[in-house]
Structure formats: structure tokens, C-alpha cells
Structure 1
Amino acid sequence: MARLPGLVQGFYRGIAFDVPDTSTTAGRRLVEYLFPGIDDAAYDDFGRNAGEITLNGVIIGDFYQAQALALEAAFERPGPAMLIHPWRGPMQVILAEPATISVASRELRAVRFSAKFRRVQTGFTSLSNGLSGVLSAVALVGLAASALSSVVSTRAISAARTRAVGRSAGIVRAAVGQLQPVAGSGRFLPRLNQTARSMAPTTPESFDGALVQLSGRFGEASDAPFVAAAAGAEPENNARPEALTSLGAALSDAVSAAIDDAPSDPDRALLACAAAHCLAQAVAQIPYTPFASAERALSTRSLTLSAADRLIAAAGSLSSGRYEGEADGLVSGLETLKAETSAALNEIIGQLPETLAVELASPTDAWLVAAHVAGDDPAGLEAVWLDIVSRNRPRHPARLPAGEVKVLRQ
């Protein structure tokens, strides 16, 4: 169904929606003082008001139920998130109050919601202006994956699709269980394993809903919670977005590898759906990633594009069968995702500092290497030394081993 006339598209945590209308409050924070016997009040100006952004959105399509669940999960996640405002562009916001999600019998295939956001400053440092394209491609892949899983119900007999759902869910659970922690992943993997073990789908639709919930876990991380932990409470060790991108791509790879060996077309279709959901949510973390160097952005680009290529090659086995149209739609969505991700990351890479490689002929003090790199800028000497130590992790900073040492050009 085409977008209705007059609607403009926006995104929240990578979920696309259309906006009939929106409003924003603006002003100053004032404190009023009233004194007995004095008619005029006194005022103190406490600065600019953060302002509230009210969005009335609508999601229209065949998979509105899965999108409603994804939207509910997005509203329940802690911390700030990115909102692509249809008129004001990208901004970091936090939900000001619980949102309202509604469906009505007179509006089939449609979900309405109303939410109030407040803009926050969280040190977000992404340099890309193409974030809207990346998030739009993420939403496109998610819809194509849901469409592929949905047709399994109509083009496979009940016994075959029930067995396919059980086998596919088992493969996804096994792939999640085999993931290895990466730097910055925190306690994310135990939570992901818990969600995977609770999966018990019996139909392709419930399998897709379970995958939306599982892959939605990748969107739960922010750089830091907006509301500080209570005094004495144990701080939450949130995963970093870059780590989530790596884990999501690895999970997509593991599921894609099982597509060729699947015993039937329904199995292959459901596994392609699972891999696509995981890859889409992994890519959705890129706009939240504060890349420290061009090398890190290059690594992320290579990782995500390789995972997309593997899934495209695996999904090719469905292009000549009963799911040809939906498989082609998924491949087209993945190609769009590759193009948008490459464009956004290439822009970021072009504006980030390079990582230098210094070849040491013998063990050397890190301070001497820092002095060589910092040159005539004594103010940056300590920052370079800290980067050398944290990036290369020597046994002792006074004795870097011979060989290649990497350092960020400040």
C-alpha cells in the first residue's frame, strides 16, 4: 500500500513511520517569585527550555502487528535514542512520558501512536549526513524479511511449515549460544541468550515476531543511560553500539551459513528472514557509533558488507522456487542497505583521523614513540601516549615490543 498523500516519513530507533502532524514547544525556563504586599512578581531566567516534540505517527502495511510490537519494544528501551524528525532532521531524544499505541477495527492494516520526546545532549558524535538513508534501508529489509516469512503460511502445508518453524528456531538458538563476547559487549550476550531460549514459535508469523523481539535486543544499548543510577546501585554495563554491530553481523553470518544445508524451501525462507532481521538491527547501530578512527569505521564497513553479501548469496537459492518474488524483494532490500551503509560510512571515514603504524626495530618506551608522533605539539603528547597504551596493550608502557605499533594521529 502506497503512502497516503500528505504524510511525511520519520524514524525512531530505526523504525519507520509516517507523520500526519507534529508540534514542538519552545521557550525559556522561568522561576516566578511572589512576595506578600507586592503586586509585581520577580522572575529568574534558568536558561532555554529543552522543549517537547509531540509526534502523531501512523504505520500502514500488511505487517502492522509486527511493527507495533517493534515500536512498543523501542519505546520500552532505556536511555536516549535517535529520532529522524520529518522536518527538523536527526536529533537525540528521550521519551518524556509513556507513549500511546492504538489500533482500531475501522482502520485495518494500520497502527497509530502518539509520543512526546525531549531533546538531550549526549555527546553523540556521528559525522554522517546520510543517517536517514541507512535507517530507511534498515526498515525496508525488516519489512521484506517479514513478507518472506509470512508467505510460508500460505505456500506450505501445515505439517511442513510447523516442522520448518521448529527447526529454524533451533538453529537460531544454537547460533546465539555459539556467539563469543567481543570488546565492549558487556552483559549483552547473557540477555540475548535468555531471549533466544524463550523462543517457542509454532507458526511463521510467531517466528517472525520472535525474531523481531530477539533482534530488537541489539537496539537496547546507548553510550550511557540518560538517568543516572540510584546511589549505591550497581551501574549497568551497557554494550557499546560498535560491539553490537559486530555481534549482529556474526549472528547473521551463522544463520546464513545454515541456509544452504536446510532440508526444505520453508526452512530456507525462515532462516533468511532470521538472518535479515539480525543484520538489519546490527546496521541500525552504526548511527549511534562514535568512531574513534577511520580504521574502526573501515572495519565496520567491511564487516557489515560481507555479512550482507553472504546473506544475498544464500538467499539466491530461493529465487527460483515458490518464494521467488519475496526473495527478490529481500535481495533488493539488502542491496539498498549495502549502498546506504557504504555511503554513510564513506562520509564518516573521510572526516576521521587516520591510524598510523610505527615499526619498532627493538623494544622502545611508549613515551619516546609518543614524542615522535606528537612532534612539536607538547599539549597532545599525553593523549598520544594514552592512545598507544590503550590501543596496543603492552605488558609495560616503558617497553613496547619490537614490531608494528598503532597510534591514532591526533
Structure 2
Amino acid sequence: MSIGTGFLGSQLGLTGGLAASPLSSILSVASWRGVNFYMPNSREAAGRRVMQMYFPGRDDFSMQDFGQFDGPIQVRGILVGDDYVLRADRMRKALLARGPATLVHPWWGALRCYLLQAGQIEFSDNEIRLARFEATFVRKPPASVSSGLFSNITDTLTNVLECGDALVDQGVLAMRGLLSPAVIPLALASAVSSTVTVAGNVWSAATASAPEPVQSATQTSLAALQTGIVAPAGNTDTTYADGVTDLLVNVPAAIAGAVSTGTTSAIAPATQVADGSQTTVDPAQATTLLLDGAAQIGAQAQALSVKSLAPADVLVIGLVARAGTVAQAMAAQSAMTYASQSDAIASRDTMTAALDALASDLTNVILAGAEVPTAAMSGAIRDARAAVVADISSRLGRLPRVVAVPVPRQMSAWLIAYAVAGVWDDLVSRNGLTHPALAGPGSVDVLETSS
């Protein structure tokens, strides 16, 4: 099938893509450093690094295996649209950039890759509004992990953090895909402004009653979020898209960054000083604050989309904001310690429910017909959910169970704690006792120390 200039010129309905063209059903969308393109085909080498060795006087040979060969990925891409020269220039800059980046592959998903060889960009006067390029990538080697007794514990925690990072990465790509037009339409600019305002209102209310460290940590990023961002007259790169993403994610990132993982004092909580003010933030506090904020942003973005002239765009922006917030909540949760199995399971269920709600937001984006890649985001949410479950499950076997101790009459919690090997602090907080001397009658939940 030949692609001629007349066919593309007559069928192209949207600047910068083939959304309205019959070709959109047969070409696969890909991305390198946020520059979207179509990938008709891809080629990859994979195998073993073996050396064939011969010896004098012998007809046979020996083979030496030096490990896996995760070979180069050869990509052919096409850039289509009225702004094809601009997109080719953006791709050229992306190919010139240093270090690893995310290659969104239509078949392999999101891959962390290095550019192995210089890319080749091709124009032709027989193909107006179309540029071709070829590039060769190689997958970034996975980070080495420790082995031994504690390797599984470390692996599950690292996996949670990596999945959270991948979730943020997919949000960045989704925002870049949404805000890729050379000229931002008024409806899209209005959708960005309205959703940013919604996020600003949510975090302003949430941090107003938060501990002082959260207020201090979020002061600068919250002020920037409330100020908002103005769409540029010429959208020639990803600066605008990345600026919007930064506004939406920086406040949650500051909250997660304010978390303290220090141990508490045996006399008084280390997070408090003499006047009762809080100086650090407990991971559980930060996780709850972040997940509450994520839920509110999702609900308000959904309500805003009903009134917006660009409902699908509002849903995408809300999805990016919620994904970034949930990712930061995952980071905060990874620093939590649990007193019992039931506490860990409750924390797990809360986080998986937040990820399930994020997946529902993604479904709404798809149903609204948003013109952004969604398959990789769906995979990132799925992987994040599995990572959270695996991390909590690895801790359960080392935690005590909670058992119900019958208390026939009202008595001091000291007596109960003494009877079950002294779990005083946990007994008072777990049962919400207003006065430690008045526990029961009824059942009182205590840790089963023998487990």
C-alpha cells in the first residue's frame, strides 16, 4: 500500500495526527521522550551470548555461554500531520537528548531504553505532510538486587516504588499526548485551567488542617498550583505539558517528601514537642491525606467534565492528577510499619481500592474517546496493584494477629495488658479507650503476642 500526498492531504482531519484517517486503524501509536509517532514495524534481536571455541587436532568444538543477549530494537516511525516538520524537529531534539528514557512500544509496552545508534530522519517531496525516521534502541539493564535472607523483602519494596514511578511516567506521557497540538484550542486551555483550579482547591483545603510540616513542605508548590499556568501561543515542545503535570503532582510529592520514618520515643511521640506542635509527619498520616486528596480530585474532575466543553480532556487531566497522587501515596505507604496482620491487610485494601478507582477513571477516559494512549497506563495500574499486594503479603507472616479477649466487667486496661504480656499502648489506641482504667465490658481487641 503506497501512502501518497493527495491521500493524506485529503483524509487528514486533525493537525498532528491521523485521528480522522482510515490509516489510524492500521498504524500503531508509539512515543519516544513524549514525541508521539506511528510505528508500522519494529524489529528486535534476543538470544544468548555464546562463543564457539575450536581446538587444534579436534573436529568438535566447545561452547561458552556468557549470558543473555537483550539485543537492539530497530524502530521505523512516521510523523504525519500538517505540523510534520515541527514534529520531526521535536523528534530530532529527543534523539539528541542524553540518558535513558521511556519508549512506548505498541507491542512491548513502556520500555526504559537508551538510543544505541544515531537516528535517521527522512523527508521526500513525494510525501508531503509526512516524515519518516529510523532509530535503534537498547533496553536499559535491570538494576541488580541483593541476594540472601532479606532479598525478597527488599525486592517487594523496590517493586512498589518502581511501579509508582512507572505510574507517574505514564501520567507524563498522557499529558504530553493530550497537549501535543502546535496551537492549543481554547476549549483545551479552558479544561486545563479549570482542572488545575479544582486540584488547587482540593489541596488548599486538605493542607489547611494538616500538620505544620505538611504546610511548610507544600507552601511553594501549592502557591504555584493556585496561580495556574497559561497556554503558550506556540506549543513547540513539551514545556507546557510538563508544566501542567508538575503543577498537579508537586503538591502530593511534597507531602510524601515530608514523611518521617524515625522511631518514636518511649516517653512521648517523637513527632511532638513540648507545646504539642507536630514536627514530622507519620507515613500513615501522609498516606491517608494523599488518598483522600486523590479521591476528591477524581470525583471533582468527573463532575467538572459534565459541564465542560471538552469533557474528555478534563477526564484525562484529572486522571493524570489522580495517578500522580496515588503514586506518591504508594511511596508514603511503603514507609509504614504495622502492629498486626489486620492493620497491614486494612492498609493493603485501602491502597488497592484507590488503584481500582484510578482504573475506573481510566475506563471513563476511554469511554469519553480521549485521543491519548491508554494501554500502557492500564498496565501500570495493574502492575502497581500487584506490587502493593505482594509487598504487604511479604510482611504478614512476621506480624502478630489481633484476637478478641472477653472482658466480663469494666476493669483497668493495665490488668488486661498484664494478662497478655503487656501490649498497653496498642490496646488503648486500638480500642479507642477514652480512659485506660475503664475497659469493657464486652470484647477488647489485643495483639496475640504468641503469633
Same fold at TM > 0.5? yes
Q: Which residue matches 1:70?
A: none
- Given that residues 177 and 372 in structure 2 are in contact (C-alpha distance below 8 angstroms), is that contact kept between their aligned partners in structure 1? no
User: Equivalent residues in 2 for 1:8-407 (5 A)?
Assistant: 58-61=99-102, 86-87=143-144, 89=146, 129-154=155-180, 157-179=184-206, 187-189=213-215, 191-192=217-218, 195-199=221-225, 200-202=228-230, 203-217=240-254, 218-224=256-262, 237-261=279-303, 262=305, 263=308, 264-323=311-370, 325-374=372-421, 381=422, 384-407=423-446
1:363, 1:180 → 2: CA distance? 40
- SS of the counterpart of 1:198? helix
In the comparison of the two structures, how many residue pairs are matched? 288
2:103, 2:179 → 1: CA distance? 14
- CA shift, 1:166, in A, is 1.0
Evaluate the alpha carbon distance shift between residue 190 and residue 401 of structure 1 in structure 2; reply closer, same or farther with a 3 A threshold: farther
- CA shift, 1:386, in A, is 3.3
- CA shift, 1:345, in A, is 0.8
2:207, 2:448 → 1: CA distance? 31
- SS of the counterpart of 2:189? helix
- Given that residues 148 and 273 in structure 1 are in contact (C-alpha distance below 8 angstroms), is that contact kept between their aligned partners in structure 2? yes
Q: TM-score, normalised by structure 1?
A: 0.62
1:372, 1:198 → 2: CA distance? 55
Q: Which amino acid aligns with 1:196?
A: L
Q: Which amino acid aligns with 2:424?
A: W
Evaluate the alpha carbon distance shift between residue 345 and residue 154 of structure 1 in structure 2; reply closer, same or farther with a 3 A threshold: same
- SS of the counterpart of 2:433? coil
Which is worse superposed, 234-243 or 360-369?
234-243
- SS of the counterpart of 1:358? strand
Provide Cα deviations, 1:20-74, integer angstroms capped at 9, x if missing partner. Answer: xxxxxxxxxxxxxxxxxxxxxxxxxxxxxxxxxxxxx9442489xxxxxxxxxxx
- Given that residues 212 and 278 in structure 2 are in contact (C-alpha distance below 8 angstroms), is that contact kept between their aligned partners in structure 1? no
- CA shift, 1:246, in A, is 1.5
Tell me how large the CA RMSD over aligned residues is. 3.6
Q: Which amino acid aligns with 1:214?
A: V
- SS of the counterpart of 1:357? strand
- Given that residues 298 and 361 in structure 2 are in contact (C-alpha distance below 8 angstroms), is that contact kept between their aligned partners in structure 1? yes
Structure 1, unpaired ranges of 5+: 6-56, 64-84, 91-125, 375-380
- Given that residues 218 and 251 in structure 2 are in contact (C-alpha distance below 8 angstroms), is that contact kept between their aligned partners in structure 1? yes
Q: Which amino acid aligns with 1:215?
A: P
Provide Cα deviations, 1:254-301, integer angstroms capped at 9, x if missing partner. Answer: 111123321211111111000000000101123322222222211211
Provide Cα deviations, 1:296-328, integer angstroms capped at 9, x if missing partner. Answer: 211211111111111111221221455355233
Q: TM-score, normalised by structure 2?
A: 0.56
Evaluate the alpha carbon distance shift between residue 59 and residue 404 of structure 1 in structure 2; reply closer, same or farther with a 3 A threshold: farther
2:290, 2:224 → 1: CA distance? 19
Evaluate the alpha carbon distance shift between residue 208 and residue 131 of structure 1 in structure 2; reply closer, same or farther with a 3 A threshold: same
1:352, 1:129 → 2: CA distance? 19
The structure having more radius of gyration, on CA atoms, is 2
- Given that residues 195 and 318 in structure 2 are in contact (C-alpha distance below 8 angstroms), is that contact kept between their aligned partners in structure 1? yes
- CA shift, 1:157, in A, is 4.0
- CA shift, 1:338, in A, is 0.4
Evaluate the alpha carbon distance shift between residue 192 and residue 201 of structure 1 in structure 2; reply closer, same or farther with a 3 A threshold: same
Provide Cα deviations, 1:73-98, integer angstroms capped at 9, x if missing partner. Answer: xxxxxxxxxxxx933549xxxxxxxx
1:129, 1:88 → 2: CA distance? 7
- Given that residues 185 and 240 in structure 1 are in contact (C-alpha distance below 8 angstroms), is that contact kept between their aligned partners in structure 2? no
Evaluate the alpha carbon distance shift between residue 187 and residue 359 of structure 1 in structure 2; reply closer, same or farther with a 3 A threshold: farther
